[in-house]
Amino acid sequence: MKKAKQSYHHGDLRTALVAEALNLLEKQDFEHLSLREVARNVGVSATAVYRHFPSKESLLKALAEHGLAMLAEQQKWAAAKATGAAAFAQTGRAYVRFALANPNLFRLIFIHTPGRLRPDVESPDGSPARLLRGYVAHALGPRASAEQIFVAAMQAWSLVHGLSMLILDEQVEPKAAEAMIDRIISNEGLRLG
C-alpha cells in the first residue's frame, strides 16, 4: 500500500473512497450516504470523487460489488463446515447472518446490482448465484431438469432472502431472529396449498 503522505495526489483514492463508504454504511442508512461526506472523511475535495466514479450511483454500484464478494466468501466458509445438504443449509444461515451483520450493505446490494445473482443465467465462478445452483443441483440429484433446479433454487433463495428482509425490517424481534433462522431453514413449517 502506497503511503499517502501529504501530497497533492492521494495515491489510491478510489480504494480509500470505497473503504470509507463501507465504513459509513456500518453506521448509517445508504440513503443518507453522501458523496461529500465520504470525500470529507477521506480528506479530499468533493469533486475529486468524480475522477474515479462518474456518479454517486456508480460508487454505490462498486460498494454493492464489494458486498457481494463478501457474501460469497462468507457462504463458502460456512459451507466448508459441513457436507451435502447440511452444507447447503449452512449457506442459507450464512446468507441471513450476513444480512443481519451488514444491514445497510445488504440492502444496497439488491437495489444496486440488478440481476447479478439470478440462478437462471450464467454467473461468474464463486458468485452466490453459482454456488446456489451448484448446491441445488447436487441436492436434487442428476435426474433433475434445469427447470426443477431453477424453481428449487428460487424457492430456497426466496426463503432466506425474505427472512433476512423481514428481520431487517424489524418484522421479527431481533433477539428471536437467530432462533428463527434455524427453524425456518430446516423447513419445519407447513406446506402451502
- Using the rule CB under 8 A, is 81 a contact of its own copies? no
Cα(first)–Cα(last) distance of the chain, in Å? 58
Looking at the Cβ atoms of 35 and 89, the one nearer to its own copies is: 89
Q: Considering beta carbons, is residue 3 or 191 the nearer one to DNA?
A: 3
Could you give the CA distance from residue 150 to residue 67 in angstroms, rounded to a whole number? 24
Closest to 98 measured CA to CA, from 109, 83, 112: 109
28 binds its own copies (CB under 8 A): no
From 8-16, 39-47, 69-77, 107-115, span contacting its own copies (CB under 8 A): 107-115
Residue 193 binding: pick among DNA, its own copies, none (C-beta 5-8 Å cut-off by kind): its own copies
**Based on CB atoms, which residue is closest to DNA, 52 or 116?**
52
The entry of DNA, its own copies, none near residue 170 (CB within 5 to 8 angstroms by kind) is: its own copies
Q: In angstroms, give the least distance from the CB of 157 to its own copies.
A: 7
Encoded one letter per residue, x for contact with its own copies by CB under 8 A and - for no contact, window 36-65 reads ------------------------------
Q: What angle (nearest 5°) sits at the alpha carbon of residue 158, between those of residues 125 and 31?
A: 85
How would DSSP label each residue in 135-158?
HHHHHH-TT--HHHHHHHHHHHHH
User: How many residues comprise the chain?
Assistant: 193
Candidate segments 2-10, 39-47, 65-73, 136-144, binder of its own copies by CB under 8 A: 136-144
Q: What is the spatial distance between Cα 158 and Cα 139, in angstroms, rounded to a whole number?
A: 17
Among the listed residues 78, 152, 72, 159, the one whose alpha carbon sits nearest the alpha carbon of residue 119: 152
Give the dihedral of Cα atoms 188, 81, 115, 98; nearest 10 deg: 80
Contacting residues toward its own copies, per CB under 8 A: 31, 84-86, 88-89, 92, 110-111, 114-118, 120, 136, 139-140, 148, 151-152, 154-166, 169-173, 176, 180, 183-193
